[in-house]
Each structure stands twice: as structure tokens, then as C-alpha cells.
Structure 1
Amino acid sequence: MSDYPQWTISRASAHECPEVLALLLGRAEWLKRRGSDQWSNFADSQERLASIISAGRTWLLREDSSGTAVGTITFVDADSDFWTPSEQAVPALYLAKLATDPTGSGRGLGRLLLHFALYRAWSDSSIREVRFDAWKTATGLHEYYRREGWTHLRTVDVPGRRSGALFSRPVDHSLAGMPNLDSVGFGQPTAFVGNPPRPDIVVEKSPREIAAEIERDG
């Protein structure tokens, strides 16, 4: 038996919408207790989120031993409020609504989800960047992203929008550029590299299937 936690990341189904919502609302409440207004208007977008989940754009990270959902990430279209037409002309993968269970803080789950997103982008040779917009006032989170290798491009002020801090990371499609989940302490999942000695994460789609899904979703 592995000495490491076992994780499974898979596309969320419509019936798992309550679990995704619980993760997002739980993180929003955690932030509120720490004086942050991030996602304070999240209740207004719950219906839209349910639609996104039904469209197959949201993924759930589960702990195998308990079956508990401990993280979520969603892939979306470029937001024209933030990204210029010239930026949108560059093939990119856009992230949104990344959240982990606050009770699991310190386990590197956010880093794992970011690396999963990088791997999805790496699997599609057409994608040049991975991008997302962050809450403008979440300066602590901005620093975290910088430490993780993301570049803060600029902050955009759009009336009525509280997000607008734009982050990006280029995709290196060489073999050396393949995101290495072992480097974040979780081991390479079987679906990523074949048959590693410590497959601590199970991804339910092969790299070829993931690439096909990205192309279809795009």
C-alpha cells in the first residue's frame, strides 16, 4: 500500500453539482472569516455554475479512501471583459472557480489542480498559454500564484466586476515541459506517463482523450 494519499480527478456530473457548490461556498466562507470579499457574490452565479457543470467543463478531485470531494476546477471560454482580441487570438486554456476544501489546507491540493490544468494544456499541441483572472483584492492569492510560477500580466478594472487580476503561464510542449505531478508531492498518475511505481493520482481519461476533449470543448 502507498504511504501517500490516493486521489482521483474526473469530470463532474450533473448529480455532483451540490458537491462542487459546497466546495466553492465553503471556500468563500473561509475567505470571509479572514476579511476577504472574494466570491462574496457567488450565490448570484449558482444557476450558471450548474449549467457549466452540466456542459462537462468542471472537474472534481476526490480522496479515494473516503470518496470525499476535496477540490474543483472549471475550464471556461475567454472573458472578453478582461482579455483583448489579440490575446484571445492566441490559443489558450482558461481556468475558473478553482477551490479546495479549507479543512485540507497545507496538503498542496490547489497546486495539484493547477498542475492538472497545465497537463491538459500540454496534451493539446495547439494551446500556447494557460490563463485565469483572479479577484482584484486577493493580494495574498496573487503572491501564491507568482510563487507557483504564474505571471501577473495586469489588473483590469471593469465596472461591476470584482475580478480582473490577470495571470498567465506559457505551455512548453516538449517532453521536458510535461507538468510533473511528482514534483508537487503526489506522484505521476498512470494516465500521464504510463505505469509509474507510485500512481497516487488516477485520471480517468488518457492524454489522447483529454486532448480530444479540449479540442471538442474549444
Structure 2
Amino acid sequence: MPDLIMREATPSDMPALMGLRIEAEQWLAAAGVDQWRDARTRGPALKKWMADIEAGRTWIAVTKADDVLGTVTLARPDMDFWTTEDQPDSAAYVGKLITARAAAGLDLGDRILDWVGATARQRGLPWVRLDCWRDNTRLQNYYLRRGFRHVRTEAPAHRLSGWLAQRPASTITRPGRPLVSARASAEAQGAGEAPAQVKAEVTSGAPG
């Protein structure tokens, strides 16, 4: 059984998810980044997050004891940024990617991104896409080092995000440590097999 499993979040996970977010807000503030604490965007963002949880779009990385160490939302394309020319239905969209400080050393952010790519491939989608704050160059560089390519930057007046990036869904940066969903893991355990690992296809921009 893998050390961590991805499972769908439920409203009962909201306290743990808020704990992750508050920890991330504090860490970002200490690093001089005011992301997620802005009074203009925090309330609407939290409301949208709850809607994503209730709709089954938010997933969490949990230990065997069901401790929550990370989360990602398989978001809908944000049409403030993506256009019909981008073929928005051709991608899985990364939203609210957060990992706990306690997960340091587990490469969890990379592994969650790989899991999103695997999910995209299962759905027949060629791309993984995301947007992040326009002034958060540290986060932008994190994604660039993991094989994402900057598509463009949009700057609608009512949004602080808008730096857009994508990478092929086939990109895998941590081939030896794949995350699987709780359902896939349970099925593999019932069959007496280890969950199948997809073959690595690492882009030149991703770390080895």
C-alpha cells in the first residue's frame, strides 16, 4: 500500500483543509507573499472552494491514519483567463494545490501534479493547466521547473491571478512515487497486487 492515498474530500474534511490553508497563508506571509490573505478575494475564494468540495472536485492526500497532508482541486476552466481558442475542455486544471509543512521531504507537490496528469490521461485530456498570482514569481518558477510552460499572463481588473501555464499530461516528475486514488488502491489490494505505475515521461524542464 502506498504511503499516501488520494481520496475525494467531503464537507467533513473542511476543518483539516482550512488548517492546511491557514498554515499556507502564514508561510506565504512570512516569505513576503500576501497571497490568499487579501480581503477582496479571500471570502469569494473560500465560498468557491466549498462548492468544489460539495461537487466532488477537491481531492486530498491522506496517510493510512487519514491525516490530511495535501489537497488539490480539479477545477473547471476559469474563463476570466482561458478562451475558447485555448480549447478549455482539453485540459485538467490545477486549483488550490496545498501541501502541509509536515509533508516536507515527501515531494508531495510534485506527486500531486503527477496524479493530476494521470487523471487527465484517464479522461483523454492532453494538458494539465493552472493559473497563479501574477506577482508570485517564486511559485511561477516552481511550476516552470516542473515542466510547465508559460502560456501568457491575463490581467483582468477584478483578479490578482492570471499567470497561465500548462504542461503535457504525459509529464511525470516522480515516477517512483506515484499517488493512487483510494478506490484504485483498494481494488489492487483486493487482487493481491500493487497499484500499477505508469511509465515515466519526463520533460526536459522537469527535475530528474
Distance 1:20 1:188, change over 3 A: closer
Q: Aligned partners of 1:112 and 1:28: how far apart in 2? A: 22
Asked if the contact 1:90–1:128 (Cα under 8 Å) also holds between the matched residues in 2, the reply is no
Q: Which runs of 5+ in 2 are unaligned?
A: 197-208
Asked if the contact 2:91–2:128 (Cα under 8 Å) also holds between the matched residues in 1, the reply is yes
Candidates 133, 142, 150, aligned match of 1:144: 142
Cα displacement string for residues 105-153 of structure 1 (whole angstroms, at most 9, x for unaligned residues): 332110111011000001122x121111011111111111111111111
Asked if the contact 1:78–1:88 (Cα under 8 Å) also holds between the matched residues in 2, the reply is no
Candidates 175, 185, 189, aligned match of 1:182: 175
Matches within 5 A, 1:185-196: 186-187=177-178, 189=180, 191=184
The letter for the 2-side match of 1:182 is: P
Counterpart residue number, 2:202: none
- Please give the root-mean-square deviation of Cα atoms over the aligned residues, in Å: 2.8
Asked if the contact 1:180–1:188 (Cα under 8 Å) also holds between the matched residues in 2, the reply is no
Distance 1:80 1:28, change over 3 A: same
Question: SS in structure 2 opposite 1:32?
Answer: helix
Residue 88 of structure 1, CA deviation: 3.4
Question: SS in structure 1 opposite 2:141?
Answer: helix
Candidates 26, 30, 33, aligned match of 2:27: 30
* Structure 2 length-normalised TM: 0.79
Q: Aligned partners of 2:164 and 2:54: how far apart in 1? A: 27
Counterpart residue number, 1:101: 100
The letter for the 2-side match of 1:53 is: I
The percentage of counterpart residues that share the same residue type is: 29
Question: SS in structure 2 opposite 1:97?
Answer: strand
Asked if the contact 2:152–2:164 (Cα under 8 Å) also holds between the matched residues in 1, the reply is yes
Q: Which runs of 5+ in 1 are unaligned?
A: 204-218
Matches within 5 A, 1:1-218: 6-41=3-38, 43-44=42-43, 45-64=45-64, 66-125=65-124, 127-172=125-170, 179=172, 181-183=174-176, 186-187=177-178, 189=180, 191=184, 199=194
